[in-house]
């Protein structure tokens, strides 16, 4: 990931040092469990652990030098580890294993930890969303459908639905974590021809992974599920971002991204305050969805394996992790510093002179005995006159002899408390969200 969108927490997981540290631990654990089975001499397994190299930048450099000869990264790694441990113990490193035993198990280990990082920041975002929803449960605003004023809602109700969707994304990430937290140590085509299944099971337990049947590679639908969880989370963040961008438009002005001291909104126009965080999130969500397509195309491999998935995964898995993590944190910051203009929301609610209560009037007239279509046409005409003439919709209704309901019924129809009496159900549902 380019530095602009990277995070130290993710970078360290996918660094060469971290990758090879995982590989080394897998190799050592296999040697030790093979010793339990009497395949590897116990003294040699102990020597492997005792003399194992420190995986640092210097070690990585040695592996890269060796890879220039072997043209095979795992073979270069094994050669370098064996040389560091020395004979005869070093010869037992990689005994009975194939490269993808180590690579796939190590990658799944990294993806499990990546999922944990993302789940943690999703929980942080949920805390902000839930607090915002509850604090604005009574902040009345206009709801819009097709971009047009519809009926009143509350900002809290809107945010509560965002929170519930983020919670579903967190559940998807938890499921993806389970899918990728697996181990495969079954050899060249997955038949355990040179390594007992019990070794795989015990190493998996040591690493906190689940041993699974596989060919030479772990099935890539698991990795695709992880990418789907990242893409889904990113799409939810974009959904929120798009709404915030609309609400920040000059003509709407109901929310604004926080603006720090010294910040500039435009290099040319000093007055500008642009929704840059929301726009960045919208753009990056497209990358996550594109990466998901790569992950899905990595699922069908030739026979027991081929290498077509590997090069793509080296890019899309770390990048999707980095983006999902970065975007979630940035949305948390955006919402934590969001300026919410409740007064502007109220002004916008009344912008069309009360026609947003047209359905309430329609239903009151139907309840009073008028045919629905007749009532609809009358209310529609009155609403159009109120908008065209800039006059109060209620007054237009009251002066129209075709409107058969009285003042009390009109008062009830125009009462926002009645319209919003059940708007808090989404907020109440937040009680079930684990924080």
Q: What is the per-residue pLDDT across 274-284, written as a single tens digit (0 to 9) for each?
A: 999 999 999 99
Q: Active-site residue among 146, 267, 271, 311?
A: 146
User: Per-residue confidence at 390, pLDDT binned at 50, 70, 90?
Assistant: very high
- List, in order, residues 6 or more apart from 220 with CB less than 8 Å away: 295, 298, 299, 301, 309
Q: Active-site residue among 193, 266, 367, 399?
A: 266
Query: What's the pLDDT at 22?
Result: 98
Cβ atoms 34, 49 nearer than 8 A: no
- Given a cut of 90, whether residue 9 has pLDDT beyond it is yes
User: Per-residue confidence at 266, pLDDT binned at 50, 70, 90?
Assistant: confident
Buried b vs exposed e over 250-282: b needs ≥16 C-beta within 10 Å? eebebbbbeeeeeeeeeeeeeeebebebbebbb
Intervals of CATH 1.10.40.30 along the chain:
355-413
Query: What's the pLDDT at 261?
Result: 87
Average pLDDT, the chain: 97
Q: Which CATH code is given to the segment(s) 7-95?
A: 1.10.275.10
Buried b vs exposed e over 201-226: b needs ≥16 C-beta within 10 Å? ebbbeebebebbebbbbbbbebbbbb
User: Per-residue confidence at 379, pLDDT binned at 50, 70, 90?
Assistant: very high
Range 210-220 average pLDDT: 97
Query: What's the pLDDT at 102?
Result: 98
Range 394-409 average pLDDT: 94
Q: Which of 15, 95, 103, 16 has the alpha carbon at shortest distance from 48?
A: 95
CA–CA gap between residue 184 and residue 104 (Å, rounded): 7
Could you give the 3-state DSSP secondary structure of residue 211?
A: strand
Percentage with pLDDT > 70 across the chain: 100
User: Per-residue confidence at 385, pLDDT binned at 50, 70, 90?
Assistant: very high
Q: What is the per-residue pLDDT across 319-378, written as a single tens digit (0 to 9) for each?
A: 999 999 999 999 999 999 999 999 999 999 999 999 999 999 999 999 999 999 999 999
Residue 277: active-site member: no
Query: What's the pLDDT at 380?
Result: 97
- Given a cut of 90, whether residue 17 has pLDDT beyond it is yes
Query: What's the pLDDT at 267?
Result: 87
Task: Give the predicted TM-score (pTM) of the model.
Answer: 0.95
Percentage with pLDDT > 90 across the chain: 97
Tokens of 395: 């007054």
Residue 266: active-site member: yes
Q: Which fold has domain 355-413?
A: Ribonucleotide Reductase Protein R1; domain 1 (1.10.40)
Q: Which residue has the higher pLDDT, 269 or 21?
A: 21
Range 98-107 average pLDDT: 98
Flag the least confident range among 8-17, 254-263, 342-351: 254-263
Intervals of CATH 1.10.275.10 along the chain:
7-95
Cβ atoms 143, 357 nearer than 8 A: no
Query: What's the pLDDT at 43?
Result: 98
């Amino acid at each position: 990931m380019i530095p602009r969108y990277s995070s130290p927490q993710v970078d360290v997981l996918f660094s060469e040092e971290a990758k090879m540290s995982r590989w080394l631990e897998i190799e050592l654990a296999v040697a030790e469990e093979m010793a339990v089975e009497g395949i590897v001499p116990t003294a040699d397994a102990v020597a492997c652990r005792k003399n194992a190299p420190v995986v640092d930048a210097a070690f990585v450099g040695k592996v890269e030098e060796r890879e220039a000869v072997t043209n095979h990264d795992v073979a270069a790694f094994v050669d370098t580890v064996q040389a560091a441990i020395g004979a005869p113990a070093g010869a037992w490193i990689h005994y009975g294993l194939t490269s993808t035993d180590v690579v796939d198990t190590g990658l799944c280990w990294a993806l499990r930890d990546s999922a944990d990082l993302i789940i943690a920041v999703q929980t942080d975002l949920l805390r902000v969303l839930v607090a915002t929803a509850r604090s604005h449960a009574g902040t009345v605003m206009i709801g819009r459908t097709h971009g047009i004023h519809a009926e009143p809602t509350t900002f809290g109700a809107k945010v509560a639905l965002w929170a519930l969707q983020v919670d579903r994304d967190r559940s998807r990430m938890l499921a993806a974590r389970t899918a990728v937290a697996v181990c495969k140590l079954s050899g060249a085509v997955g038949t355990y021809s040179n390594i007992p299944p019990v070794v795989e099971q015990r190493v998996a337990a040591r690493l906190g992974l689940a041993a699974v049947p596989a060919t030479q590679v772990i099935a890539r639908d698991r990795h695709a599920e992880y990418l789907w969880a990242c893409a889904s989370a990113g799409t939810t963040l974009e959904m929120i971002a798009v709404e915030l961008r609309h609400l920040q438009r000059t003509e709407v002005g109901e929310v604004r991204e926080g603006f720090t001291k010294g910040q500039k909104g435009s290099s040319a126009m000093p007055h500008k305050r642009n929704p840059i965080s929301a726009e960045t999130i919208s753009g990056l969500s497209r990358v996550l969805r594109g990466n998901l397509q790569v992950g899905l195309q990595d699922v069908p491999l030739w026979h027991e394996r081929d290498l077509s998935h590997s090069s793509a995964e080296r890019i899309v898995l770390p990048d999707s992790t980095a983006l999902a993590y970065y975007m979630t944190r940035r949305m948390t910051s955006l919402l934590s510093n969001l300026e919410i203009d409740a007064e502007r929301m109220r002004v916008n609610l009344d912008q069309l002179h009360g026609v947003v209560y047209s359905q309430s009037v329609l239903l009151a007239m139907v309840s009073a005995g008028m045919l629905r279509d007749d009532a609809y046409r009358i209310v529609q005409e009155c609403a159009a006159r109120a908008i065209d003439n800039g006059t109060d919709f209620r007054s237009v209704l009251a002066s129209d002899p075709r409107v058969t309901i009285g003042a009390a019924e009109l008062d009830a129809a125009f009462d926002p408390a009645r319209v919003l009496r059940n708007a808090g159900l989404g907020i109440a549902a937040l009680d079930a969200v684990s924080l």
